[in-house]
Amino acid sequence: MKIEIVETAPIEGQMPGTSGLRKKTRVFMEPKYLENFIQATFDAIGGGEGKTFVVGGDGRYFNTDAIQVIIKMAAGNGAAAVIVGQNGILSTPAASHLIRLNKADGGFILSASHNPGGIDEDFGVKYNAANGGPAPEGLTAKVFEATTSISHYKTIAADNVDLSRIGTTSHGGMSVQVVDPVSDYQNLMESLFDFGAIRALFADGFTMRFDAMHAVTGPYGSTILEDILGAPAGTVTNGIPLEDFGKGHPDPNPIWAKELMDLMMSDDAPDIGAASDGDGDRNMIVGRGVYVTPSDSLAILAANAHLAPAYADGLSGIARSMPTSAASDRVAAKLGIDAYETPTGWKFFGNLLDAGKVTICGEESAGTGSSHVREKDGLWAVLLWLNILAVRKQSVSEIVEDHWKTYGRDYYSRYDFEAVATDKANDMMQNLRGKFSQLAGQTFAGLTVTTADEFSYLDPVDGSVSDNQGLRIAFEGGGRAVFRLSGTGTQGATVRLYLEQYSGLNGDTNQDTQAALQSVRSAAFEISDMKAIIGRIEPDVIT
């Protein structure tokens, strides 16, 4: 089939962020917008000739249309094969696994993760490399550079591929394999966990509610939790992926998963509640009457991972993003293994995982994962929790409380200030940055500053340096405040303020979180001049 060369011109603003390119859906639907970015990606990786790619997404609006464009462009760029999830569905961790399993050259994942979906909401595309992980900064820089000089893109004129039928067809001389999106991922999970012990847990009357949020993990949760592990029918709720996520916000946190949270705090609560996000890479864990923060969940999973078969021989190391609490560092110290602090963005864990320096890693934004793939993995975290519960035969709250008794408690919260005028957000960060040289030793809200700096990361594997990764202020007594501008929004700026206060080994672990953080919060507001500069100190979301 003849390759078509279509003339085009650069389109401004196609700079990939920490998780690819995210814009409003209507922007991606504009003529040549998606095509330009996909061609720039092919150009940045040295072309598509003879290569194999995995393609799939979270089912949001424009997902299947974008997949058809990518398939035709892959053929136009000389690719040998494309592997695509049935009906265009692939969770992000499942896509990572398929790339690794099939030794593919990379993959295109279509998602805006936890952002809302719909024609008037958000869409995104990111490229994952041959290791199954998000493209490193060097590659995303090449993609952006290519978007600024693009003059044409390559495609073929052909009918759309029938994504509903599993099987292999030829498309413009390229093999297109439509696969069951769940089966290979299910096999991977069975190789990691003691499914027999989890089946026995459910057979003994253990109860669970898994909210798939009308997002991609619905089919995965229904198959693995209900069909394979024997959880009662109805354990998985909101399990059918919808283009607009049922007009919900597919972000697994106490704000957007309110129905689940209300249930878990009621007298009718099941033994565990869990949720996952739009593309299946995030998770929320809730016990009866207890919300497990992502930072605590990471630490607890790391401390108990040896109870699952895949991790029985121990961990090589633990990594966390800089804004994540230090709870997992304390686990690493007790286990006698290395702890790593990286910038936000899963791609920074890739080198550590590939080099065998860490086994488990996680972020405060509800992402946890391990060396089984090169993405965070929401359902993996839920299954590891179930494996731990099956072996320890304790409740979620008992396990959490035991952890705090052993390690102390890191009180933790994140404040999101959304849609802040970009110039004001930048002014606040610049103002704060300018104070750092004189903050040490000063007292604010009764807390004395010990250090203040801008986080810079030296990758221990390849020696690359990532600067400007967040502003950190540490206080005497184990308090910390971190300021970052998020790269996951699609309008204005999202200012994120992370607050942390360590209880100490023998301190009070039963305080209300916001009460425990009051002094750190007040000090952070005072030092940053947040109210004066952006006009707000009331966040849109507290997690």
With a cut of 70, say whether residue 46 has pLDDT above it: yes
Residue 499: phi and psi, rounded to 5, are -120, 140
With a cut of 90, say whether residue 487 has pLDDT above it: no
Mean pLDDT value of segment 298-320: 98
Three-state secondary structure along 187-228? HHHHHHCCHHHHHHHHHCCCCEEEECCCCCHHHHHHHHHHHH
In this structure, the number of other CB atoms found within 10 A of the CB of residue 518 comes to 15
Burial class (CB within 10 angstroms; exposed 0-12, middle 13-18, buried 19+) of 228: middle
Confidence bin at 210 (pLDDT 50/70/90):
very high
Mean pLDDT value of segment 61-76: 98
Torsion-angle region of 150 (φ positive above 0: left; ψ -120 to 50: alpha; else: beta): beta
Q: Which residues are the active-site residues?
A: 113
Q: Nearest-CA neighbor of 260 among 213, 201, 206?
A: 213
With a cut of 60, say whether residue 168 has pLDDT above it: yes
Q: Nearest-CA neighbor of 236 among 265, 213, 253, 259?
A: 213
With a cut of 90, say whether residue 71 has pLDDT above it: yes
Mean pLDDT value of segment 87-116: 97
Query: Can you name the residues that pair with 494 across neighbouring β-strands?
Result: 486
Q: Which two tokens stand for residue 292?
A: 């497990």
- Identify the pLDDT of residue 492: 81
Q: Nearest-CA neighbor of 363 among 406, 318, 408, 411?
A: 318
Residues 188, 193, 195, 196: what is their CA dihedral angle, to the nearest 10 degrees?
A: 140
In this structure, the number of other CB atoms found within 10 A of the CB of residue 432 comes to 21
Strands (E) in 421-543, as ranges, are 443-444, 447-454, 457-458, 465-466, 471-475, 479-486, 493-502, 541-542
Choose the weakest-confidence range: 215-219, 337-341, 394-398, 491-495: 491-495
pTM for this entry: 0.94
CA 101/CA 373 separation, integer angstroms: 10
Burial class (CB within 10 angstroms; exposed 0-12, middle 13-18, buried 19+) of 267: exposed
Could you tell me which residue, 172 or 513, shows the higher pLDDT?
513
Domains of the chain: 3-179 (3.40.120.10), 185-407 (3.40.120.10), 410-542 (3.30.310.50)
Choose the weakest-confidence range: 46-55, 328-337, 532-541: 532-541
For residues 53-92, b (16+ Cβ closer than 10 Å) or e, as one string? Answer: bbbbbbbbbbbbebbbbbbbbbbbbbbbbbbbbbbbbbbb
Residue 393: phi and psi, rounded to 5, are 55, 40
Q: Is the dihedral of CA 185, 186, 187, 192 positive or negative?
A: positive
Three-state secondary structure along 222-277? HHHHHHHCCCCCCCEECCCCCCCHHHCCCCCCCCCCHHHHHHHCCCCCCCEEEEEC
Percent of the chain with pLDDT over 70: 99
Collect all residues with Cβ–Cβ distance below 8 Å to 374 and sequence separation of at least 6: 96, 100, 128, 131, 132, 133, 134, 346, 349, 350, 353, 354
Task: List, for residues 215-253, the tens digit of each pLDDT value.
Answer: 999 999 999 999 999 999 999 999 999 999 999 999 999
- Identify the pLDDT of residue 490: 54
With a cut of 80, say whether residue 491 has pLDDT above it: no
With a cut of 80, say whether residue 18 has pLDDT above it: no
Query: Can you name the residues that pair with 317 across neighbouring β-strands?
Result: 338
Q: What does pLDDT average to over the chain? A: 96
With a cut of 60, say whether residue 489 has pLDDT above it: no
- Identify the pLDDT of residue 87: 97
- Identify the pLDDT of residue 180: 98
With a cut of 90, say whether residue 19 has pLDDT above it: no
Confidence bin at 67 (pLDDT 50/70/90):
very high
Confidence bin at 162 (pLDDT 50/70/90):
very high
With a cut of 80, say whether residue 488 has pLDDT above it: no
Task: List, for residues 432-486, the tens digit of each pLDDT value.
Answer: 999 999 999 999 999 999 999 999 999 999 999 999 999 999 999 999 999 999 8
Determine which helix (DSSP H) or strand (DSSP E) holds 141, and give its type and residue range: helix 137-147
- Identify the pLDDT of residue 200: 98
Confidence bin at 389 (pLDDT 50/70/90):
very high
Mean pLDDT value of segment 332-354: 94
- Identify the pLDDT of residue 172: 84
